[in-house]
Amino acid sequence: DTAVSQTPKYLVTQMGNDKSIKCEQNLGHDTMYWYKQDSKKFLKIMFSYNNKELIINETVPNRFSPKSPDKAHLNLHINSLELGDSAVYFCASSPSGTVTNQPQHFGDGTRLSIL
């Protein structure tokens, strides 16, 4: 009965490859997010989607492309992976929409390592 689930948990790949991380939430939330936690443990928002619509798009290289097929899923595709993309990527969701100040619920993260 996992609320926010991400796959895979670990991803090791070579520079230049393209990879995807999947995220699903069963909380019935309207908004989903992707965060990146870098080597300094700094957790920073990348994107947010509300009902499949892009709401937040921080300064992220356009090699990163989120895709939301429905409001329960937000996948992250990364093209031409670089060494600096090595990090832990967290998916999150929240009720949001017309309901403000609601905490976000996080998945357990995907640790991406670029060789």
Partner 1 sequence: DQQVKQNSPSLSVQEGRISILNCDYTNSMFDYFLWYKKYPAEGPTFLISISSIKDKNEDGRFTVFLNKSAKHLSLHIVPSQPGDSAVYFCAASALGDTDKLIFGTGTRLQVFP
Q: Residues in the site for partner 1, rule: CB under 8 A?
A: 4, 31, 33, 40-45, 48, 50, 55-56, 90, 92, 94, 96, 100-109
Give the whole-angstrom CA distance, residue 28 versus residue 19: 27
Min dist CB 45 to partner 1, Å, is 6
CB closer to partner 1, 16 vs 44: 44
CB closer to partner 1, 1 vs 14: 1
CB closer to partner 1, 17 vs 26: 26
Q: Classify burial at 25, counting beta carbons within 10 Å of its beta carbon; exposed 0-12, middle 13-18, buried 19 or more.
A: buried
Contact residues for 43 (Cβ-Cβ < 8 A; gap 6+): 35, 36, 37, 90
